[in-house]
A and B are shown apart, each in its own frame.
Chain A
Amino acid sequence: MKVLVAVKRVIDFNVKPRVKMDGSGVDLANVKMSMNPFDEIAVEEAIRLKEKGNATEIVAVSVGPAKAQETLRTALAMGADRAILVQTDDEVEPLAVAKILAKIAEEEQPGLFILGKQAIDDDSNQVGQMLAALLGWPQGTFASKVEPQGDHVSVTREVDGGLETVKLATPAVVTTDLRLNEPRYASLPNIMKAKSKPLATKAPGDFGVDTTPRLEVLKVTEPAKRQAGDKVGSVDELVAKLKTLGVVA
């Protein structure tokens, strides 16, 4: 079966984002960008399925600016076979991304579409579920284990309180949680090889999807700052302090 993987170019997770003074957004000029960490897990899982003989071809897909090519090259260097960039400089909301991905899924006919559970920039956690709904496919969100078995896939999900296992008829959508796997690093020879793998560039208009935002961002502000408090020197002082604050009896 063919596996599609969606990847997003986002601010590197180690960078502390800075809110712009004018409240228009987060400053991304000259900030290190990387593949969304949950998407790395998605790519890794697709590669492992191929290594186990479950997947025949892996296609990495991204919606974003020209520079998202670098993110796709990273996926290719990890082991994806080819890539599709839907290039746009506009901010594309999860609903529009899901619509574009749904069109690509209809063209490519994958058995599995793997995405990260959320992007660490907008923290929406929506695209996978919306994609599944648009296609009428079942969904295995927050996956910590994915096992294809014939015409279905068994997905263990991380839910509040523990784990849940569901059996999904393929084609299906899976979104990855942190503990699904540990993504590999691309080796230098593979990074070189990735440069010659096919990467098709498209535009949202090619899929007839309107990307006009439905949500208007009025402003972006810094969260209320916490004041660092006092350090105490001993457990006795700590206990006394907690009693003064009234948090313990």
Chain B
Amino acid sequence: MKTLVLVEHADGAIKDATLAAVTAAAKLGEVHLLVAGKGVDSVAAAAAKIAGVGKVHVADGAHLEHQLAEDVAPVAAALMADHDAFLAPATTTGKNIAPRVAAALDVMQISDILSVEGADTFTRPIYAGNAIATVKSKDAKKVITVRGTAFEKAARDGGSGSVEKVDAGSHDGKAEFVSAEISKSERPELTSAKIIVSGGRAFGSSDQFHSLLDPLADKLGAAVGASRAAVDAGYAPNDYQVGQTGKIVAPELYIAIGISGAIQHLAGMKDAKTIVAINKDEEAPIFQVADVGLVGDLFKIVPELTDKL
């Protein structure tokens, strides 16, 4: 079986989520990659070094600069004539592009897989992670998005893939990129961080959220996350949101502070290795999944914890 993995990249660097998709693809067979973008020679060279990679297909064109689904999906769909499976990381980029590829091939997509059980059988979460479905695809070709936290990341070096230019297609013209507003952060990326400190509505204000959480995160070298309530209240930007509708994370340590633990939030973090909950309500559902709980006032506990670490 030949697989084609969509490489997600920004500013010349390959994102970690791609490496997890490569691991999932390797379970199915020979791994080929697709690098689409503008001026992506260095990305292609880096992609060829990923362990276990065969061919790297490079679609280079000005219209692919922002990797719009309308322009990237036809390139991927054309390459699928020679591949048996298309895998993309289950990031906003992968989720945007993959279903368009699936529709072009007239196959069902298997979203957000957690494991590969066989050439056509996969597990995936449904109902906000409250159930795990094992599904078998009857389609000749598979289109799959891969949950990044469910697979080991392939090594960034050790591979010796060959780079090959492919037809970059033409600009669809119906969709144009206008602008992007990327939140700047010195801290590790949420989805790949080893430690995450996450705050909820209990912080009461954006100032308190940052003045209390940021020093703790810096002390731990952690990423900062947030519940939907905290994001909706404007304490943190929306890309901090952990949960069913935000990011799915599985760090070594997840510290939930002032978060009650609604099922939608738990869906995003319950695969963390160790969960610590700090909450003043001892009945909060977060304590049912926490390995270590501390009941008390976060305004006292967080500064003390920051001091003592």
Q: A residues bordering B, Cβ < 8 Å?
A: 11, 13, 16-17, 19, 26, 93-95, 98, 117-118, 120-134, 137-139, 141-142, 144, 154, 157-169, 172, 177-179, 213-223, 226-239, 241-242, 245, 247-248
Contacts and interface: CB of A to CB of B under 8 A. Distances in A.
Contacts of A118: 245
Nearest to B15: A160
Contacts of B231: 179
A214 B180 contact: no
A143 B172 CA distance: 20
B126 A126 contact: no
Interface stretch (B31-39, B40-48, B79-87, B107-115): B107-115
A168 B175 contact: yes
Given A166-B178, A236-B308, A248-B309, 11 more contacts: A11-B127, A16-B130, A17-B131, A124-B111, A139-B70, A141-B96, A160-B191, A166-B177, A226-B275, A239-B305, A239-B309
Contact of A139 (B66, B96, B293): B96
A123 B292 contact: no
A238 B103 contact: no
A118 B246 CA distance: 12
Contacts of B99: 94, 125-130, 133
Interface residues of B, number: 89
10 contacts: A26-B127, A134-B103, A165-B177, A216-B138, A218-B135, A220-B133, A222-B130, A230-B292, A234-B294, A235-B294
B174 A26 contact: no
Contacts of A16: 130, 263
Interface secondary structure of B, over-half rule: mixed
A56 to B, nearest CB: 22
A238 B294 contact: yes
Most chain-A CB neighbours within 10 Å: which of B108, B132, B274? B108
A181 to B, nearest CB: 12
Given A126-B102, A242-B292, A248 B112 contact: no
Interface string B214-249: 000000100000001001100001110000110100
A100 B69 CA distance: 22
A229 B112 contact: no
A166 B71 CA distance: 13
Nearest to B143: A126
A230 B220 contact: no
Contact of A248 (B108, B111, B253): B253
Interface of B: 10, 66, 68-70, 73, 91-93, 95-100, 102-104, 106-112, 121, 125-139, 172-183, 191, 195, 220, 228, 231-232, 237-239, 244-245, 247, 252-253, 263-264, 270, 273-276, 282, 287-295, 301, 304-305, 308-309
B103 A162 contact: no
A16 B181 CA distance: 36
Nearest to A102: B103
A160 B100 contact: no
Contact of B247 (A123, A142, A160): A160
Contacts of B126: 26, 121-123, 220
A165 B180 contact: yes
A116 to B, nearest CB: 10
Contacts of B173: 169
Given A121-B126, A222-B131, A223-B125, A130 B102 contact: yes
A213 B270 CA distance: 30
Contacts of A166: 68, 175-178
A81 B275 CA distance: 48
A70 B84 CA distance: 42
A178 B294 contact: no
Nearest to A19: B131
A233 B263 CA distance: 26
